[in-house]
Amino acid sequence: MSEKKNERGKKGDINLTKLNSTATRVVYWMFQILILCTMGFSIVSLFTEPTLFDKGTHIEHIMLCVVSLILYNIPSIAQRRFKLYVPSAIHIFVLLFIFAHFILGEVFGTYKVSALFDKLLHTTSGLAIALGGFSLVNILNDSRNTHLKLSPLFVALFSFCFALAIALLWEVLEFTSDSLFGTNMQRYIPPENVEQAVPPKQGYGLIDTMGDMIVSTAAAFVVSVLGYIALRKKSGALNRFLLRKIPDYEIAIAEAEEAGDTKLVEALKKARAEVLGQTSGESDEVELKESSVASAEIESEAHTEEKPQTENSEIGEEAPQENAEETDATLLESAEVAVTKEEEENSSSEILAASPTAPRNDKMRSAKDINKNIKNDRSKKR
Digit-coded pLDDT (tens) for 101-134: 999 998 998 988 887 898 999 999 999 999 999 8
* Identity of the highest mean pLDDT range in 25-34, 226-235, 295-304: 25-34
The DSSP call for residue 191 is P
Q: How far is CA 353 from CA 115, 161, 371, in A?
A: 156, 141, 20
Structural contact between residues 111 and 105, judged by C-beta atoms closer than 8 angstroms:
yes
Radius of gyration of the chain from its Cα atoms, rounded to whole angstroms:
50
* pLDDT above 90 coverage of the chain, percent: 28
pLDDT attached to residue 294? 62
Q: Which helix (H) or strand (E) holds 245?
A: strand 244-245
pLDDT attached to residue 10? 45
- Our CA dihedral for 119, 106, 67, 69, rounded to 10 degrees, sits at 90
Burial class for 37, CB neighbours closer than 10 Å (0-12, 13-18, 19+): exposed
What is the pTM (predicted TM-score) of this model?
Answer: 0.65
pLDDT tens digits along 168-190: 999 999 899 888 988 778 877 77
Instruction: Mention every residue, 6+ apart, whose C-beta is less than 8 A from residue 38.
Output: 61, 65, 103, 107
Question: Residue 245's beta-bridge partner residues?
Answer: 84
Question: Residue 244's beta-bridge partner residues?
Answer: 85
Indicate the angle between helix axes 22-48 and 88-98, nearest 10 degrees.
Answer: 10
Question: d(Cα 126, Cα 141) in Å, to the nearest integer?
Answer: 22
Question: d(Cα 112, Cα 304) in Å, to the nearest integer?
Answer: 86
Nearest to 322 by CA among 332, 334, 330: 330
Question: d(Cα 330, Cα 336) in Å, to the nearest integer?
Answer: 10
pLDDT tens digits along 253-285: 877 777 677 777 888 888 788 777 765 555 555
Predicted confidence (pLDDT) at residue 322 exceeds the cutoff of 80: no
Predicted confidence (pLDDT) at residue 85 exceeds the cutoff of 80: yes
pLDDT attached to residue 62? 92
Structural contact between residues 10 and 250, judged by C-beta atoms closer than 8 angstroms:
yes
Structural contact between residues 211 and 119, judged by C-beta atoms closer than 8 angstroms:
yes
What are the backbone angles phi and psi of residue 195, rounded to the nearest 5°?
-110, 95
pLDDT attached to residue 225? 95
pLDDT attached to residue 256? 74
Indicate the angle between helix axes 55-72 and 74-81, nearest 10 degrees.
Answer: 30
Q: What is the mean pLDDT of residues 30-55?
A: 85
Question: d(Cα 129, Cα 350) in Å, to the nearest integer?
Answer: 135
What band does 382 get if pLDDT is binned at 50, 70 and 90? low
pLDDT attached to residue 32? 94
Listed by start position, the domains of the chain span 7-266, 284-381
Structural contact between residues 250 and 7, judged by C-beta atoms closer than 8 angstroms:
no
pLDDT attached to residue 276? 74
